[in-house]
Structure formats: structure tokens, C-alpha cells
Chain A
Amino acid sequence: SQTIHQWPATLVQPVGSPLSLECTVEGTSNPNLYWYRQAAGRGLQLLFYSVGIGQISSEVPQNLSASRPQDRQFILSSKKLLLSDSGFYLCAWTYGTGTGDEQYFGPGTRLTVT
């Protein structure tokens, strides 16, 4: 069966510090991978998605970047965090067959920038 992991589960970082959030998927190969952010009181917003190693699409201009160094690993990074980067970050995956698949979400990382 497939499993998606995210870590850390919670993180408190000062403004201006770097960020690295990791997401890994087990039990499948060549998934489509997604990073979402849920700011307090707001809906989920797609930040990045990837259809393969090294292939990253950014949905909104921001202070964050994403990388996919391995097939089942997706990393969200920032060189200098802003207060507005606080939120709940979710990683998700689909089979990526292009025929309309379920999205499976990770447990999320709650980031507080102080």
C-alpha cells in the first residue's frame, strides 16, 4: 500500500531563517507530487507541483521554492522566512495517469514564523 510522510510535524522558526520541509511517498513510482499551503482561516492553495524528477511548476510567486531530487521525494525550501510564510503545509500525490485520480494527502507540517 502507498504511504506519504511529511516532516517535521511542527516547526517554529524566526523570521529570516531558512526552511526545509520534506515529503516522501512509499509504495508507488513516478507519482505527481504537490505542495499546498493553508493559511489561518483560509482555504488550501497550491504552491508547487511536479510530474517528475527535477520538474517543478510554481503556481504563485512567493518566497518559497521546491525541488524533487528523487522520484518519491519532494522538498519545500526557503532561504529567508517571512511572517507570511506561517501556515499549514500539506504534501499530496496522485498516480499521475492523467485520467483523473484521487489525491492523497500527507499529515502536514504546521509552520509558525516568529
Chain B
Amino acid sequence: KNEVEQSPQNLTAQEGEFITINCSYSVGISALHWLQQHPGGGIVSLFMLSSGKKKHGRLIATINIQEKHSSLHITASHPRDSAVYICAVRSHFGNEKLTFGTGTRLTIIP
């Protein structure tokens, strides 16, 4: 069993739909990252959070430490949101090494 599990693996939705991507992890963590990888391969960090909720534009990330679960939400989805979204966790405070989920491939249809 992987330490970081994401669901769904693939998601196709219509433009404007509300999107939720889930991440569950099995180890104690100091922080969780949500990353976005575009078709060319480049990766952008979206959020780093250790508790509660963060919002940036149409993106919202939440984390429940007790349940070892995080969600990434996209409101009013747009075709430019199409990408692979990757959840990663840092398991020890002060150690920056990340363990990654396999990603969720999101496709938004116009």
C-alpha cells in the first residue's frame, strides 16, 4: 500500500463544474503539498498546508490531520485547469523530503 493515495486517478468534467480531488496518507506528517503538473512536465506548487484550509483564487485546499486526509477543490473549473494534480507529504518536521501520490489527471471540457 502506498503511503500517499489519491482519488480519483482520472477525472473529466465540464467547464464550470466544482472539482474535488482527494488525498489520503498513512504516516504522520508535518506538512502536505498540492502540486500541479502541466503536459510539458513542469511542476508548480499550489499549496503547502499543515492544518485547516487555504484558498488561492478558485483553488481551495483543506486538510484533516486526525483523519489523515486532504482535499483540493476547484471552483468554476476552466479548460486551463486541465493538468495532473499531485499530493505530497513531508513525514518528519525539519526533513524536507516529500513522498508523492501518483497524481490525478484532470481534464476540463469546454
Contact = CB atoms under 8 A, between A and B. Distances in A.
A in complex with B: yes
Interface of A: 32, 34, 38, 42-46, 49, 59, 88, 90, 94, 96, 98-105, 107-108, 110
Given A59-B97, A103-B98, A107-B42, 8 more contacts: A43-B86, A43-B101, A43-B102, A44-B98, A49-B96, A88-B41, A100-B30, A100-B50
Q: Which 3 A-B pairs have the closest CB atoms?
A: A43-B102, A105-B43, A98-B94
Interface of B: 2, 4, 30-31, 33, 35, 40-45, 48, 50, 86, 88, 90, 93-94, 96-103
A100 to B, nearest CB: 5
Contacts, number: 59
28 contacts: A42-B102, A43-B2, A43-B4, A43-B100, A43-B103, A44-B98, A44-B100, A46-B99, A49-B96, A49-B97, A59-B97, A88-B41, A90-B43, A94-B96, A96-B96, A98-B93, A98-B94, A100-B30, A100-B50, A102-B33, A102-B48, A103-B96, A103-B98, A105-B43, A105-B44, A107-B41, A108-B43, A110-B41
A94 B42 CA distance: 17
B100 A45 contact: yes
